[in-house]
């Protein structure tokens, strides 16, 4: 219970239920099942297993209860859950066991499951970016004509309209939406390569099997990204860029909320245990925290690019440690930014 | 459920129950209670509240059930759990409410609770470092006379004794134990400063109250580290240095386990879903992963040093996001390193 | 003389003359002159200064000798070189001084100069990426049919063709070329906003002036990226992704070059002062170093996204410290990777 | 010319001549000579070379002109300068060539030279820390009784005395001085291990030779830190902690200098090219920049702890890229902080 995202009370600040559901064990397990079921059916469709065996296996894959303790113990031993997962599925599939996982390897299952998780993640983030764009645009429409002081290097510089400051917050958002859209097909990709990634176990039919699977999972067949983590790191980069945008917004609001500056009035600020009169810009500070958190994490995703040979257990596991938290921080940042927009009662000076 | 440390199956690899217990919500809450109870008693001892009130309040603080939902909701609103926590405690204390939290602020509670958590963390890590030192020393004793090839820049250089390689793993460990011991009094410190850290609300008796509290909590009164996060960052640094030591050990073992090099034989390696014959050096790779994870995280702790004014919500919360995970990665690294030592059946070449 | 890129002997390993020339003081100064000259002409074209004054000023801007000591002293005082630079230019322009820098601010000059520098940087990197793609393709053509062992988690897994390993190195390269091409118009942008970025000093003609300048400098008028550093950070991200690709290549080569593995033969490896017989895979290791260097630096560029108000001296200067070194590491990585391809005499096993 | 520390005009802000001299090529070369000369004499003293040969070689080592082009070319080829350096020294030593570098390896030379450089670095930093402690103490003495507003979470909280804010800046400084002092013997260490670090080439006399060398170089014989980089990373950590302390100071000053807050008056602020009336807190912002720079770099030093086998070319070279810049940023931070203290004319409010 060390993560703020699941902490019994700090979770009140950091947790985002939507992203937590997307990355839950249940959701990830369902994606792993989806991979194996799609493979079983594809094996049948390509004549790699007798007619009916693929469907039979897929059904078993869909419905069998997974022994989670055994799965965790298997992960302790193997470093990945898939060997035990497959063992459980094969036992459930009975006579159709040969249609389970044949030709595939652990990374195929986990990377494809990740691709399915990132699809839902992108849906969530895109919706929130759009909402934030709308909220800031509305703020600009209603309060953009107010006057305020433009500040550079922490010093009063020249008067500006509030719209100019808001434009700075708005400017990158459509770019983020567009960039996410461009990145999606690069990460929403089937991974299918087998033991060393060359698909040799499919005896020349790897592409047929993959095409079938990609179609049923609605993924692209990117023919093998198991050691090329560029797209995953680039995706993490975009999420951290989004957090950076939000961090600037939060920092600006926190500075505007200072007594003596008084350029924003927020409803419902946070209370203090020592000073009941205070109204702290909690969400604004949170945006700064999350920006610096993701700016820290992105480094780890780039180190994971040094993914040696046909599979690096060390580099791959580093992604598992870091990427989910980047998505959680980004999603929470966006929900917090949208909440913060709602709390802005006045920005700039009405009369001047 | 985004953290590997609590993940339903990845937790099998990453989770360490001992460190998880130390950082559990329950344990943290008990430390927060300990702070408030010690304060209540100190207020009484220093004549800040009527005789009996401090004891009465302390008793209520110890036994009252905390409404965790309310605590989480309070954290959502206030950015910290303490205002709601104090509200619940004061309600429980009834007539003795004036002895609850008087003169203190949120950061006093949370930082002092952190100090108590780090004490247990240091106990755990020190024990494991000692065990690792013993295990490696024993390995050196039993297998140090074997021959192997010394390698520099990934190239065979000159033959060495296995003891020489093991010495490289051993070398930093006593230093880590010593450094942790030196760091302990710097982080096992009471924080007591009140609203802005100057103890003004204690009306000249801040030091008396603090001395009393420090004694009952067995902490040092470091007179105010609320904005000076040097010791906390230095502590995180030491933990990441430990992980780095373990990462070198793991990287060396993984390289020695390569077919063609064959300088180590491990029992019970991890299986593969595609290649049942394989025996993967899972724990060795895990040590590399954890080293690179902590090497990434340490940066965030240093950014949190820029802790502006009398309290930075943004910088402080960045610590909450990062430090617990550093401790979890370090503790797991040490348990994994100790397990790995047990798995080493042969190292170097017996006959040569 | 602390930087490896300019070090009297370490520069032999790290320095790349082409990127050093692009980022030289002379080249940067010429870009700053280009901005001011383009502005002077645009001011004239838009009727902001009397006819002839713009041309006159531009001519003075182009030819006047800049006192570099004064420029450095001005930077010491002002934190940016532009106030002193403008002072020198205005003195040189004499009667046309009013056409120098009018309406602009320091960041306009420096960011636009940066855009011009990044154009040349992208040209260089793109050419080298193309060369690397060709070299690896040729290697695959000539040696791809050789046999070697596929390795996962540092363990022998299944035999592969050398082409499969080379494909992993090749896979991201076209994507990098394409991504750089997409990023170019996002960073090759004029910055023109004046004191607080709203172009107020141009009295309604900011867009006219900018359009004129953008045309003459062959840049896009992105209407104000002075506080939105997304594109710059994204550019740095792409460069670090490139380094990551090269790091995997280098790590694989270093592992293949191990005695006992012997899957690659390199010409002209590095010598040792103690072991003249050794042939160290210096360039392969360098690629790993540069990948981890950029993976470290990228974090700083993301922290610089928290660029408060209308100009953050602190965040902006962080870019100055980090971005040039990222470009230097990336350019050197690419030249080293191309050299390494030339040194590969044999890869995999000819007969098997 | 990509580094701000040597940049023709940005150097005006970032360059520190004292630290630049300590890390200059000339100074580093003299340390490399010192190692080789000490070794030559030690070899003679221990009877490893005929009487007189060590002195003869040492003299040649001291006075021979080094061909810097050849040294750089050697580094290009070998990845380290030492093979070529030794070749030049041996040629110069003539008949005493056998007393040059015998038993040692490249890393012995470079790491020992680094230890000598860090000694001078620590001297410089310690002096500046002491000066800063004095300056802040004096500031507290003269202006500590002024009133100002204590601020938490960017909000006015409770009034404080200026002394309380200054105490927060002062608090960590003596700790830094003490910690540096403790760290010095851990990094001011001879490295002598030969090809693979076990001193085998000294045929049982490694410790005798090392003791002799350590004495003449005034270093500790730490018996082999070639692969244990803990102390180097810990040293870098301390420097970044120092920068973090300075970053908090700078951030506070920049916030205090805001119009509307007006809690500090600085002399000689930086000018603006667009707004001659402005007085920017350039040095305060620089402290924040340098803190975030070092907070970024420290991560790379921790990654370099994964130093595989008996010498990692990749991990070692990463230190070369990062550590010198950390020292440069720290030294400049301290000089800037001391300058900033001098510029503080008023802090807090005299009358209230």
C117-134 pLDDT per residue, tens: 999 999 999 999 999 999
pLDDT at position A352 over 60: no
Sort out which chain C residues have CB atoms less than 8 A from B272's CB and list them.
Answer: 152, 157
- Mean pLDDT along residues B303-318: 98
Q: How many B-D residue pairs are in contact by the CB < 8 A criterion?
A: 211
- D151, A262: Cβ pair inside 8 Å? no
Task: Calculate the dihedral angle through the C-alpha atoms of D132, D135, D138, D142, rounding to the nearest 10 degrees.
Answer: -130
CB contact set of C127 (below 8 Å; sequence gap of 6+): none
Convert the pLDDT of each residue in D167-221 to its tens digit: 999 999 999 999 999 999 999 999 999 999 999 999 999 999 999 999 999 999 9
- Distance, in Å, from the CA atom of D191 to the CA atom of D115, rounded to the nearest integer, reads 9
CA distance D68 to chain C (A): 7
Q: Give the model's pLDDT for residue B352.
A: 45
Q: Which of B97, B197, B295, B296 to mutate to test the interface with A (most CBs of A within 10 A)?
A: B296
Q: For residue C242, what is the nearest residue in chain A, using CA coordinates? A: A230
Smallest CA–CA distance from B262 into chain C, residue? C260
Cβ-nearest to B157 among C149, C261, C275: C275
Q: Average of pLDDT values for D30-37?
A: 98
Contacts of D200 in chain B (CB under 8 A): 158, 160
Q: Which residue has better confidence, A350 or B136?
A: B136
**Smallest CA–CA distance from D307 into chain B, residue:** B248
pLDDT digits (tens, 9 = 90+) for C315-346: 999 999 999 999 999 999 999 999 999 999 99
Chains contacting A (3 or more CB pairs within 8 Å): B, C, D
Q: Between chain A and chain D, how many beta carbons pairs sit less than 8 Å apart?
A: 79
**Contact of B181 with B10, CB cutoff 8 Å:** no
pLDDT band at A1 (very low <50, low <70, confident <90, very high): low
Which pLDDT score, from 0 to 100, does residue C268 have?
A: 79
* Residue whose structure tokens are 């360490």: B16
Q: Is B64 exposed, middle or buried (0-12, 13-18, 19+ CB in 10 A)?
A: middle
Inter-chain CB proximity D25 and C1 less than 8 Å: yes
Region B45-68: what's the mean pLDDT? 97
- Give the model's confidence band at A222: pLDDT under 50 very low, under 70 low, under 90 confident, else very high: confident
How far is B130 from B117, CA to CA, in rounded Å?
Answer: 20
* Interface contact A168, partner C, CB < 8 A: yes
In this predicted structure, the answer to whether residue B288 has a pLDDT above a threshold of 90 is yes
Position D222 scores a pLDDT of 86
Question: Which of A5, A16, A66, A274 has the highest number of chain B CBs within 10 A, making it the mutation to test binding with B?
Answer: A274
- Residue A129 forms contact with C (CB below 8 Å): no
Flag if D20 and C1 touch (Cβ within 8 Å): yes
Q: Assess A305–B contact: CB distance below 8 Å, yes or no.
A: no
Could you give the CA distance from residue A180 to residue A186 in angstroms, rounded to a whole number?
10
**Which of D269, D333, D275, D330 minimizes the C-alpha distance to D301?**
D330
pLDDT of residue C350: 58
Alpha-carbon distance B339 to C256, whole Å?
A: 29
Partner-chain contact C311 A160, CB within 8 Å: no
Q: What ipTM score was computed for the predicted complex, to two decimals?
A: 0.97
Confidence class for position B201, pLDDT limits 50, 70, 90: very high
Interface test with C, best of B150, B153, B259, B266 (most C CBs within 10 A): B153
Cβ pairs A/C, distance under 8 A: 210
Band (A351; pLDDT cuts 50, 70, 90) = low
D152 — contact with chain C (CB < 8 Å)?
no
Which whole number is the average pLDDT over A129-152?
97
A150 CB near a chain B CB, below 8 Å? no
User: In the structure, what pLDDT confidence band is assigned to residue D320 with cuts at 50, 70 and 90?
Assistant: very high
Residues B155, C285: C-beta atoms closer than 8 Å: no
Backbone φ and ψ of B169, nearest 5°? -75, -35
| CA within 13 Å, CB half, C46 | 22
Q: How confident is the model at residue B271 (pLDDT cuts 50, 70, 90)?
A: confident
Percent of chain D whose predicted confidence (pLDDT) is above 90: 93
Mean pLDDT score of chain D: 96
pLDDT at A76 over 80: yes
Nearest-CB residue to B154 (from C149, C153, C257)? C257
What's the pLDDT at B279?
A: 83
Tally Cβ neighbours within 10 Å of residue D179. 21
Contact B261 C260 (CB under 8 A): yes
Q: pLDDT value at position B230?
A: 98
**Beta carbons of A262 and D261 less than 8 Å apart:** no
Residues 83-122 of C with CB under 8 A from A: none
Q: Looking at residues D136-159, what average pLDDT do you find? A: 96
Q: Do B195 and D158 touch (CB under 8 A)?
A: yes
pLDDT by residue (tens digit) across B209-241? 999 999 999 999 988 899 999 999 999 999 999
Q: How far is B56 from chain D (nearest CA, A)?
A: 30
Alpha helices in C257-343 (DSSP H): 282-303, 313-343
Of B136, B135, B116, B241, nearest to B178 by C-alpha is B241
Encoding tokens for residue C84?
A: 């002193």
Q: How far is CA D344 from CA D130, D138, D290, in A?
A: 18, 11, 20
Q: CA C166 from chain center: how many Å?
A: 26
Share of chain B above pLDDT 90, in %: 93
pLDDT over 50 at D286, yes or no: yes
Here the tokens at position D106 are 């490249």
Rounded to whole angstroms, the Cα distance separating A52 from A47 reads 10
- pLDDT per residue, tens digit, chain C (352 aa), is 579 999 999 999 999 999 999 999 999 999 999 999 999 999 999 999 999 999 999 999 999 999 999 999 999 999 999 999 999 999 999 999 999 999 999 999 999 999 999 999 999 999 999 999 999 999 999 999 999 999 999 999 999 999 999 999 999 999 999 999 999 999 999 999 999 999 999 999 999 999 999 999 999 998 889 999 999 999 999 999 999 999 999 999 999 999 999 999 998 777 777 777 778 899 999 999 999 999 999 999 999 999 999 999 999 999 999 999 999 999 999 999 999 999 999 999 855 4
The answer for B 218-257 residues in CB contact with A (under 8 A) is 250-251, 254
pLDDT over 70 (residue B350): no
Q: Is the model's pLDDT at B345 over the cut of 90?
A: yes
pLDDT exceeds 90 at position B254: yes
Using a CB–CB cutoff of 8 Å, tell me whether A50 touches chain B: no
Q: How confident is the model at residue D40 (pLDDT cuts 50, 70, 90)?
A: very high
Interface membership of D305 toward C (CB under 8 Å): no
Confidence of residue D144 (pLDDT cuts 50, 70, 90): very high
| Confidence bin at B176 (pLDDT 50/70/90) | very high
Average pLDDT of the residues of chain A? 96
CB nearest B200 (choices: D158, D305, D311): D158
Please write the tens of the pLDDT for every residue from A15-50: 999 999 999 999 999 999 999 999 999 999 999 999
pLDDT at B222: 86
* Spatial CB neighbours of A313, under 8 Å, sequence gap ≥ 6: A79, B280, B282, B285, B286, B289, C152, C153, C154
In contact, B278 and C157? CB cutoff 8 Å: yes
The beta-carbon neighbor of A273 closest among B12, B13, B83 is B83
pLDDT for D72: 96
Give the span between the Cα atoms of A242 and A237, in whole angstroms: 9
What pLDDT, on the 0 to 100 scale, is given for residue D275? Answer: 72
């Amino acid at each position: 219970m060390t993560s703020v995202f699941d902490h019994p009370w700090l979770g009140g600040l950091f947790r985002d239920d939507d992203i937590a559901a997307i990355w839950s064990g249940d959701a990830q397990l369902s994606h792993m099942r989806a991979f194996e079921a799609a493979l079983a059916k594809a094996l049948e469709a390509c004549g790699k297993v007798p007619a009916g065996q693929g469907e039979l296996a897929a059904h078993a894959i869909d419905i069998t209860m997974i022994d989670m303790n055994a799965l965790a113990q298997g992960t302790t031993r193997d470093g990945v859950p898939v060997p035990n997962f497959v063992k459980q599925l094969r036992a459930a599939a009975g006579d159709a066991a040969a249609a389970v996982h044949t030709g595939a390897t652990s990374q195929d299952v986990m990377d494809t499951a990740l691709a399915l998780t990132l699809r839902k993640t992108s849906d969530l983030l895109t919706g929130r970016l759009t909402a934030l764009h709308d909220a800031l645009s509305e703020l600009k429409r209603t309060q953009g004509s107010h006057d305020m002081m433009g500040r550079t290097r922490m010093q009063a510089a020249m008067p500006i309209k509030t719209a100019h400051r808001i434009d700075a917050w708005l400017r990158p958002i459509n770019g983020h939406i567009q960039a996410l859209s461009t990145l999606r097909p690069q990460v929403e990709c089937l991974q299918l390569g087998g033991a060393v990634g060359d698909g040799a176990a499919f005896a020349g039919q790897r592409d047929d099997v993959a095409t079938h699977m990609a179609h049923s999972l609605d993924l692209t067949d990117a023919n093998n990204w198991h050691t090329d983590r560029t797209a995953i790191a680039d995706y993490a980069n975009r999420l951290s860029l989004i957090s950076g945008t939000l961090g600037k917004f939060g920092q600006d609001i926190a500075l505007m909320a200072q007594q003596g500056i008084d350029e924003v009035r927020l409803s419902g600020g946070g209370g203090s245990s020592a000073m009941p009169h205070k109204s702290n810009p909690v969400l604004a500070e949170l945006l700064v925290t999350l920006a610096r958190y993701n700016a820290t994490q992105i480094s780890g995703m780039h180190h994971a690019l040094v993914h040696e040979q046909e599979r690096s257990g060390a580099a791959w596991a580093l992604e598992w440690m870091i990427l989910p938290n980047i998505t959680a921080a980004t999603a929470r940042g966006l929900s917090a930014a949208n909440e913060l927009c709602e709390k802005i009662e006045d920005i700039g000076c009405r009369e001047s």
